[in-house]
Chain A
Amino acid sequence: MKRRDGVSHWLRLYPARLRAEYEGQIAEYLACERTEERYRGFLGAVRFSLHAGLDVVKAHIDAPEQLRVPEPPTRARISFRQRLGDFGRDVGYALRSLLRAPAFTATVVLTLALGVGVNGAVFSLVDRVFLRAPAGVVEPESVHRIYGWLPVIADSRTQPFVHPDFNAAQVDSIRAAIASLHPLAAWTATALDTLERDGGELEAYASWVSQDYFPTLGVVSARGRFFSDGEGKHSESPVAVLGHAFWERAFASDPNVLGKTLVADSVTYTIVGVAQAGFSGLDYDGTDVFFGLDERLIPAEWRSAQIRVAARTSSPAGVQQLERLAAQGLRGVELERAAGLQARAPQAAANAREQGAGLRVFAGSIVSARGVGDRAPDAKRAWLSAGSESVVRRIGWVSLALLLIACANAACLLLVRTSRRQNEIAIRLALGISRKRLHGQFLIEGMLLAALAGAGALLVGWIGGAALSRLLMPEVRWTGGVLHERVIAVILCTSVAVGLVAGITPSLQTQVGRLAISLRSRREDGARREPRLRAGLLVLQAALSVILLASAGLFVRSLVKIAEFLEYDVDQVAWVYASPTTLPTGKVDPAALRSLGTLLAEQPGVNGIALASMPPMGGGYGSGIVNLPNGDSLPELSRSTRFYRVSGDFFEVTGRRVVRGRSLLDDETDAIVMNEFASQTYFPGGDALGQCLPTYSIDAQCARVVGIVADAPWSQITDKPTLQFYLPLTEKAPPRAIVLRVDRRVWPHIAEMARAELEPAYGEGAFEIRRMADRLDVQLRPWRVGSQLFSVFGLLAVLVTLVGVYSVTSFVVAQRTHEIGIRIALGARLSDVLREVLRGGVFVLSLGALIGLGVVVMLNKVLTPLLYGVDARDPVVMAAAVTTLVIAGVAANLVPAWRAARVDPVKALAVE
């Protein structure tokens, strides 16, 4: 008996009909075979497995019709067995017919694997960003993140703005307003920090969290405890809690970790606990270490800190109460600020009051990418229109379109194939196969294809998902793998759905009942319905390809537009900036800055320096007002007014174009430069140059407009134009930034030099020393990646469409061989045949392209907000998309057309 052991697992794989009769014999046979010389050793075992596997497959396929197992013990059992037997035979039949057409099978499987896999990859990202609630939180749906929302005030040019983060004072007053009613958690965005511990340094992602953070979220500790009263960063004895994964990774699950210390930014923290396994904070980035955040102490560096707040409440009434109370708290802070400003700057105080009155609060989803959700459509739109998340959403739509194309293509190919097999199908029907069984066989074929495609799709999804998340959101350190079980489920479900579609399409073709008819009439009969269906699918593919291509084009154009609107020579500009938030004393010696500037200007590779109150796109000061020459103010514009103090060569150094007039001169105090938007707002249709505008921002009576510069964003690349005023630097408004025009190759050297000069006097990290390109990278990436991905998807779509067009055309041509032969025999020329064949294909493609364009035009309203400075109906892009598709389509048609034209009439006429 022992001999059989090595083969028993093979035995199980043989079809039931064989095993029922010959199980023992096959076992003996395999055992004997296994002992043969050629199956000895490792290679022999491999060879044996190959042969046995092949044999099993053959045995399944080899299911001759006359083999019906008789012997009926009970009625129920036969029918079940018979059904099972039928099913097995149908699978065998489907398998054989797929193997008989390897090119067809491969094309369909690859197309579908690509379509489904890309969707899986995108879904893995969508799932991680939008759908999956942070692990470890108890009842995550009842935890609500609090968002501030400043809607548009009528007639003002400000943009609606969502506050996802708050400063310590705001958090404090929100807490005071709601604390007794709803538990509240506050935490800071995760930041990479270098920690010291005995035994060396390590990098970790740290977040400062409030004392009620863990209890509110329902997270328990795996070891030790969480924070208690007053254990914030600035308390006597700061403490830390480790994330579970980090404890395992960095501390090798040390059971004695409690009581050990960690040093971060020269504060020593004592480890008091380890959080429960699986929990790693609320943001996408996993948090390694949680430090105590005691926002009641309001340390200086938290003044502009990014603190996030969430509260727990389960009832809808609770949510409304939460929003109301939190809004009251926030308004209180604004009013307090207004009161503080009243004496110094009445206008700013008025703004603060106005802002306070407009402030509203929404309780959004704890999944940060979902933002405020549907509770505030305006706020939601503002929230979703920027950032990496928006790209993820766009890519989601694109990948769906790609899937549709892939399905249409597969359906097309299946249709063509069914047409080819009409003869066979008709014979089978004539021989008495039931229609139900025939449809079942189509379905099984579709499912087999889908199974193969699903396997491929998992691979594509796995590779693509990892690549996509790295490409789209590289700053996020993802927790958990790419192929979450949900992603796998989506891929498999999509595959099954695709299989259903693929299986049903050919059934539709036989539905009309015309297949039971005589074989002779098939050609004429088939000429009606199914080419229409086929052409319809081709049109669909072409339309979707055009949509994708056009979207790709629009994204590329957006990117170009952004580069134009930026106005700055992003790649050459760099700065050394003493930000008020990073400089401990808040003061910088202008003379020292000037002399450093002079020193840097002399370095090779530096092509000019300027001084300014803040770096380009650093925001600009919002306080101040410029009146019309007659003294009237434009108060509704005040909030979008930005002031800059710059030296004369600022525009030249940064690449900003002076469109009219001149730059500022270093020694003039009453000159002002405005941007085009300001000039048009103040002097619609008139000339701003030479006008004198009253403003309290300068000492003189009024500021004389000496130049007008092109518009540029003031902070974000998506900013709408703002009123921008450039004033000269003065004693009272000294420079805080050196702006350089510098070759990027020498920049590291220059930056090092600036650091060496400044850090001894001001301390490490007091100055922001960076290139503009680095600062804008995060903002530009969505567009850059968007245009790359759209282009790739667009090209894939065209490729898949071409495969469809090619296979369908070549099939149609093959079907028309007879007719073409007659034409040639009757004297048709090569060019006539070419034209004839091409015409059909190009017509279908053009129709599809037109429909696609129509859709893009109709989607104009949806698409335009996703773009930048480009109209979704951009004629250049549309023409390019259509041309690409049609040229490619003609190429795909040419091969079959050429083949048709070369038909030998004698042979063609012989073709039945």
Chain B
Amino acid sequence: MTEVDVHDLLPLTPASLQILLSLSDGVKHGYGIKREVEERTSGRLQLGAGTLYSAIQRLTRDGLVEEAEHRSGEEGETARWRYYRLTPLGRRTLLAEIRRLEADVQAARAKGLSLDAGEGA
């Protein structure tokens, strides 16, 4: 199981990255992921049902995400939903992806690109 090299799974697609990121702080169902991503990105990334579940299907198959038992208690949540959480491999992959992105960001800084300047710069 842990023989998989996470670097084989990189880079992640934007949707996969956002889903993993969304699940990094807890168990969520599909619509919950969508809402969280939408809020966090101020609506820039909207995950439609098809895109979302295609990505979840792929992530599950690759072993990055797995289904969690039903978590009760939160209002409005019912037994109809299936919940998802990160697997250890998923967490490692997410961290590896973030590190990869961070390295790119640092490289950009080192080249003197000002990230604060406007887009036109």
Binding site for B on A (CB under 8 A): 14-15, 17-18, 21-22, 24-26, 28-30, 32-33, 51-52, 54-56, 58-60, 62, 64, 66-67
Which residues of chain B have C-beta atoms less than 8 A from A66's C-beta?
A: 58, 61-62
Number of interface residues of B (CB under 8 A): 20
Which residues of chain A have C-beta atoms less than 8 A from B82's C-beta?
A: 25
Binding site for A on B (CB under 8 A): 29-31, 34, 46, 48-54, 56-58, 61-62, 80-82
Which residues of chain A have C-beta atoms less than 8 A from B56's C-beta?
A: 22
Find A29's partner among B34, B46, B54, B61 (CB 8 Å cutoff). Answer: B34
Instruction: Assess whether B30 is in contact with A25, with CB atoms less than 8 Å apart.
Output: yes
- In the assembled complex, the Cα of A22 lies from the Cα of B31 at a distance in Å of 13
Which residues of chain B have C-beta atoms less than 8 A from A14's C-beta?
A: 49-50
- In the assembled complex, the Cα of A60 lies from the Cα of B51 at a distance in Å of 9
Query: With contacts A28-B80, A29-B30, A29-B31 known, is A67 near B50, CB below 8 A?
Result: no
- In the assembled complex, the Cα of A15 lies from the Cα of B54 at a distance in Å of 10
Residue of A nearest to B15 (CB): A62
Which residues of chain A have C-beta atoms less than 8 A from B61's C-beta?
A: 66-67
- In the assembled complex, the Cα of A30 lies from the Cα of B31 at a distance in Å of 9
Residue of B nearest to A70 (CB): B61
Which residues of chain B have C-beta atoms less than 8 A from A58's C-beta?
A: 48, 50-51
Which residues of chain A have C-beta atoms less than 8 A from B81's C-beta?
A: 25, 28
Query: With contacts A30-B49, A51-B48 known, is A59 near B31, CB below 8 A?
Result: no
Residue of A nearest to B78 (CB): A28
- The smallest C-beta distance from A818 to any residue of chain B, in angstroms, reads 31
Find B80's partner among A22, A24, A59 (CB 8 Å cutoff). Answer: A24
Which residues of chain B have C-beta atoms less than 8 A from A15's C-beta?
A: 50
Instruction: Assess whether B54 is in contact with A21, with CB atoms less than 8 Å apart.
Output: no
Most A CB within 10 A of own CB, among B31, B50, B61: B50
- The smallest C-beta distance from B104 to any residue of chain A, in angstroms, reads 24
- In the assembled complex, the Cα of A18 lies from the Cα of B52 at a distance in Å of 10
Instruction: Assess whether B57 is in contact with A59, with CB atoms less than 8 Å apart.
Output: no
Which residues of chain A have C-beta atoms less than 8 A from B57's C-beta?
A: 17-18, 21-22, 67
- In the assembled complex, the Cα of A28 lies from the Cα of B35 at a distance in Å of 14
Residue of B nearest to A20 (CB): B57
- In the assembled complex, the Cα of A414 lies from the Cα of B51 at a distance in Å of 31
Most A CB within 10 A of own CB, among B49, B54, B56, B81: B49
- The smallest C-beta distance from A34 to any residue of chain B, in angstroms, reads 11
Instruction: Assess whether B58 is in contact with A33, with CB atoms less than 8 Å apart.
Output: no
Instruction: Assess whether A33 is in contact with B80, with CB atoms less than 8 Å apart.
Output: no
Find A32's partner among B31, B48, B52 (CB 8 Å cutoff). Answer: B31
- The smallest C-beta distance from A811 to any residue of chain B, in angstroms, reads 32
Which residues of chain A have C-beta atoms less than 8 A from B50's C-beta?
A: 14-15, 18, 26, 55-56, 58-60, 62
Instruction: Assess whether B54 is in contact with A33, with CB atoms less than 8 Å apart.
Output: no
Query: With contacts A18-B53, A29-B31, A64-B58 known, is A54 near B48, CB below 8 A?
Result: yes
Residue of B nearest to A55 (CB): B48
Instruction: Assess whether B53 is in contact with A26, with CB atoms less than 8 Å apart.
Output: yes
Which 10 A/B pairs are nearest by Cβ-Cβ distance?
A59-B50, A55-B48, A55-B50, A22-B53, A29-B49, A26-B49, A32-B31, A62-B54, A29-B31, A29-B30
- The smallest C-beta distance from B68 to any residue of chain A, in angstroms, reads 14
Which residues of chain A have C-beta atoms less than 8 A from B53's C-beta?
A: 18, 21-22, 25-26, 29, 59
Which residues of chain B have C-beta atoms less than 8 A from A32's C-beta?
A: 31
Residue of A nearest to B50 (CB): A59
Query: With contacts A18-B57, A21-B57 known, is A62 near B51, CB below 8 A?
Result: yes
Residue of B nearest to A23 (CB): B53
Which residues of chain B have C-beta atoms less than 8 A from A22's C-beta?
A: 30, 53, 56-57
22 A-B residue pairings within 8 Å (CB atoms): A18-B50, A21-B57, A22-B53, A22-B57, A25-B30, A25-B82, A26-B49, A26-B50, A29-B30, A29-B31, A29-B34, A29-B53, A51-B48, A52-B49, A55-B48, A55-B51, A58-B48, A58-B51, A59-B50, A62-B51, A64-B58, A67-B58
- In the assembled complex, the Cα of A698 lies from the Cα of B82 at a distance in Å of 112
- The smallest C-beta distance from A17 to any residue of chain B, in angstroms, reads 8
Most A CB within 10 A of own CB, among B29, B48, B56: B48
Instruction: Assess whether B54 is in contact with A18, with CB atoms less than 8 Å apart.
Output: yes
Residue of B nearest to A63 (CB): B54
- The smallest C-beta distance from A62 to any residue of chain B, in angstroms, reads 5
- The smallest C-beta distance from B83 to any residue of chain A, in angstroms, reads 10
Instruction: Assess whether A55 is in contact with B49, with CB atoms less than 8 Å apart.
Output: yes
- The smallest C-beta distance from A799 to any residue of chain B, in angstroms, reads 40
- The smallest C-beta distance from A453 to any residue of chain B, in angstroms, reads 28
> 9 extra interchain contacts, Cβ-Cβ under 8 A, other than A55-B48, A64-B54?
A22-B53, A25-B29, A26-B53, A28-B30, A28-B80, A33-B49, A55-B49, A58-B48, A62-B54
Which residues of chain B have C-beta atoms less than 8 A from A28's C-beta?
A: 30-31, 80-81
Which residues of chain B have C-beta atoms less than 8 A from A55's C-beta?
A: 48-51
Instruction: Assess whether B52 is in contact with A29, with CB atoms less than 8 Å apart.
Output: yes
- In the assembled complex, the Cα of A58 lies from the Cα of B34 at a distance in Å of 16
- In the assembled complex, the Cα of A33 lies from the Cα of B54 at a distance in Å of 17
- The smallest C-beta distance from A755 to any residue of chain B, in angstroms, reads 76
- The smallest C-beta distance from B52 to any residue of chain A, in angstroms, reads 7
- In the assembled complex, the Cα of A52 lies from the Cα of B48 at a distance in Å of 7
Instruction: Assess whether B58 is in contact with A59, with CB atoms less than 8 Å apart.
Output: no
Which residues of chain A have C-beta atoms less than 8 A from B48's C-beta?
A: 51-52, 54-55, 58-59
Residue of A nearest to B76 (CB): A32
- The smallest C-beta distance from A68 to any residue of chain B, in angstroms, reads 9
- In the assembled complex, the Cα of A707 lies from the Cα of B81 at a distance in Å of 106
- In the assembled complex, the Cα of A21 lies from the Cα of B31 at a distance in Å of 16
- In the assembled complex, the Cα of A497 lies from the Cα of B59 at a distance in Å of 42
- In the assembled complex, the Cα of A207 lies from the Cα of B54 at a distance in Å of 69
- In the assembled complex, the Cα of A595 lies from the Cα of B53 at a distance in Å of 97
- In the assembled complex, the Cα of A28 lies from the Cα of B46 at a distance in Å of 17
- The smallest C-beta distance from A59 to any residue of chain B, in angstroms, reads 3
Query: With contacts A21-B57, A28-B80, A66-B58 known, is A59 near B51, CB below 8 A?
Result: yes
Which residues of chain A have C-beta atoms less than 8 A from B54's C-beta?
A: 18, 59, 62, 64
- In the assembled complex, the Cα of A58 lies from the Cα of B31 at a distance in Å of 18
Residue of B nearest to A17 (CB): B57
Residue of A nearest to B33 (CB): A29
Residue of B nearest to A36 (CB): B35
- The smallest C-beta distance from B98 to any residue of chain A, in angstroms, reads 22
- The smallest C-beta distance from A6 to any residue of chain B, in angstroms, reads 14
Which residues of chain B have C-beta atoms less than 8 A from A24's C-beta?
A: 80
Residue of B nearest to A13 (CB): B50
Residue of A nearest to B52 (CB): A29
- In the assembled complex, the Cα of A33 lies from the Cα of B52 at a distance in Å of 13
- In the assembled complex, the Cα of A24 lies from the Cα of B80 at a distance in Å of 8
Which residues of chain B have C-beta atoms less than 8 A from A30's C-beta?
A: 49
Residue of A nearest to B47 (CB): A55
- In the assembled complex, the Cα of A29 lies from the Cα of B31 at a distance in Å of 6
Which residues of chain B have C-beta atoms less than 8 A from A25's C-beta?
A: 29-30, 53, 81-82
- In the assembled complex, the Cα of A15 lies from the Cα of B57 at a distance in Å of 13
- In the assembled complex, the Cα of A18 lies from the Cα of B57 at a distance in Å of 8
Residue of A nearest to B80 (CB): A28
Residue of A nearest to B46 (CB): A51
- The smallest C-beta distance from B23 to any residue of chain A, in angstroms, reads 15
Which residues of chain B have C-beta atoms less than 8 A from A29's C-beta?
A: 30-31, 34, 49, 52-53
Which residues of chain A have C-beta atoms less than 8 A from B30's C-beta?
A: 22, 25, 28-29
Find A33's partner among B29, B31, B51, B62 (CB 8 Å cutoff). Answer: B31
Residue of B nearest to A26 (CB): B49
- In the assembled complex, the Cα of A257 lies from the Cα of B70 at a distance in Å of 76
Which residues of chain A have C-beta atoms less than 8 A from B29's C-beta?
A: 25
- In the assembled complex, the Cα of A14 lies from the Cα of B61 at a distance in Å of 19
Residue of B nearest to A59 (CB): B50
- The smallest C-beta distance from A16 to any residue of chain B, in angstroms, reads 12
- The smallest C-beta distance from A508 to any residue of chain B, in angstroms, reads 35
- The smallest C-beta distance from A650 to any residue of chain B, in angstroms, reads 84
- The smallest C-beta distance from A488 to any residue of chain B, in angstroms, reads 33
- In the assembled complex, the Cα of A18 lies from the Cα of B54 at a distance in Å of 7
- In the assembled complex, the Cα of A852 lies from the Cα of B67 at a distance in Å of 69
Residue of A nearest to B56 (CB): A22
Which residues of chain A have C-beta atoms less than 8 A from B80's C-beta?
A: 24, 28
- The smallest C-beta distance from B60 to any residue of chain A, in angstroms, reads 9
